[in-house]
A = this chain, B = another copy of it.
Amino acid sequence: MAVTIRDVAKAAGVSPATVSRALSGSELVEQGTRELVLRTAAQLGYLPNRAARGLITGRTGNLGLIVPDLANPFFPDVVKGIQARAREADYSVFLSDTDEDPAAELGLVRALAKQVDGIILCSPRMSAEDLRAAVDCAPLVAVNRRGSHVPGVTIDNADGMRQAVAHLAALEHRRVGYVAGPRSSWSNRERLRAVRTAAEAEGVELVQIGNVPPQFEGGVAAADLVVAAKVSAVIAYNDVVALGLLTRLAARGIEVPRDMSVVGIDDIAMSAMFSPALTTVSIPKAQSGRAAVELLLQLLGNPGARNPSRREIPTQLLVRDTTAVARQ
């Protein structure tokens, strides 16, 4: 059925070993022979059997990718970046969606470990000790999470929050709310800390508002708390929450940005489409994905690397229509 290396060898009048060497670009085969082999292989439509190769080399040519929820509009773009970069490097990627179940993450890592050369863990919700265990299963890179022995790609939350708070301060907001995401989320803890630091530096009073699920409904629910908190501006854990806020504020007759300024984080596609268009801290999502693959490839090339490598992605405040000068 399928054409094997032996068929090519026979057709080209050489041994399978020579075919293997010619195709893998080894330098130990004569120019003429190589060309002959390459031509024959192409002619026969030969494609190497990955399983067989993997068996002897111990590498699969696959990467594993675990995301908490693909329906969260943040992730598809990250996945696209990962996908694209992996393909360039001739790797295929296995996708797994945990449906927001942190307990499933470690199990998936374990299951995937045998089938892939490395794993990318997106926004892992798992505990620190589980993360440690995961790292021991396979070469692993985390996205949106820093761990003491885990290489990873993170967002420069500190600078993003600094930009957001500086923007609001420049608009004369003196009392600003932060609508927090899930307590268990590393990103949320990180953003909370960053926004506090930034507020202090700018001399702005900061009030934390709730811990809401990172969904539209979370924002809807938070809106009333925001109003009650007597702030003139609010920064949301992410864009989806911010859009929820916007919707409920409008329903209550509170006009944005006249009565309240709102800033999101992520810059998902919908944010620009909403009216009013959301001011947000933009994260280069595809770039984060590419960087994660880059890190992983580096790890695979040099598995003994002692210090886990890190990569921090810069953020950029996009000022759109939901922020304005504070009302006196």
Interface residues of A (CB under 8 A from B): 2, 47, 49-52, 54-55, 60, 62, 65, 70-71, 73, 75-77, 79-80, 83-84, 87, 92-97, 99, 112, 114-115, 216, 243-244, 247, 250, 269-270, 273-275
Q: Report the minimal beta-carbon distance from A99 to chain B, rounded to whole angstroms.
A: 8
Cα separation A65 to B51 with both chains bound (whole Å) = 19
Cα separation A92 to B108 with both chains bound (whole Å) = 11
Contact A84 B55 (CB under 8 A): no
Inter-chain contacts of A71 with B (CB < 8 A): 76-77, 80, 269
Q: Report the nearest B residue to A219, measured CB to CB.
A: B273
Contact A247 B270 (CB under 8 A): no
* Contacts beyond the supplied A79-B95, A93-B95: 14 A-B pairs with Cβ under 8 Å: A52-B55, A55-B55, A70-B76, A70-B77, A70-B79, A71-B269, A73-B76, A79-B97, A80-B97, A80-B99, A83-B95, A83-B97, A92-B96, A216-B273
Contact A244 B216 (CB under 8 A): no
Q: Report the nearest B residue to A250, measured CB to CB.
A: B275
Q: Report the nearest B residue to A114, measured CB to CB.
A: B47
Contact B115 A92 (CB under 8 A): yes
CB<8 Å pairs between A and B, sample of 25 = A47-B114, A50-B115, A51-B60, A52-B55, A62-B94, A70-B77, A70-B79, A70-B83, A71-B80, A73-B73, A75-B76, A79-B97, A80-B99, A84-B97, A92-B94, A92-B96, A92-B112, A92-B115, A94-B95, A244-B273, A247-B273, A247-B275, A270-B270, A270-B273, A274-B274
Q: Report the minimal beta-carbon distance from A263 to chain B, rounded to whole angstroms.
A: 18
Inter-chain contacts of A80 with B (CB < 8 A): 70-71, 97, 99
Q: Report the minimal beta-carbon distance from A311 to chain B, rounded to whole angstroms.
A: 22
Inter-chain contacts of A65 with B (CB < 8 A): 95
Cα separation A71 to B96 with both chains bound (whole Å) = 17
Q: Report the nearest B residue to A53, measured CB to CB.
A: B51
Out of B95, B115, B244, name the residue touching A95 (CB < 8 Å): B95
Inter-chain contacts of A51 with B (CB < 8 A): 50-52, 54-55, 60
Q: Report the minimal beta-carbon distance from A88 to chain B, rounded to whole angstroms.
A: 13
Interface centre among A54, A94, A95, A269 (most CB of B within 10 A): A95
Interface centre among A83, A93, A244 (most CB of B within 10 A): A83
Inter-chain contacts of A73 with B (CB < 8 A): 73, 76
Out of B76, B79, B114, name the residue touching A50 (CB < 8 Å): B114
Interface centre among A47, A92, A216 (most CB of B within 10 A): A92
Cα separation A96 to B51 with both chains bound (whole Å) = 20
Q: Report the nearest B residue to A70, measured CB to CB.
A: B76
Inter-chain contacts of A79 with B (CB < 8 A): 70, 95, 97
Cα separation A99 to B47 with both chains bound (whole Å) = 25
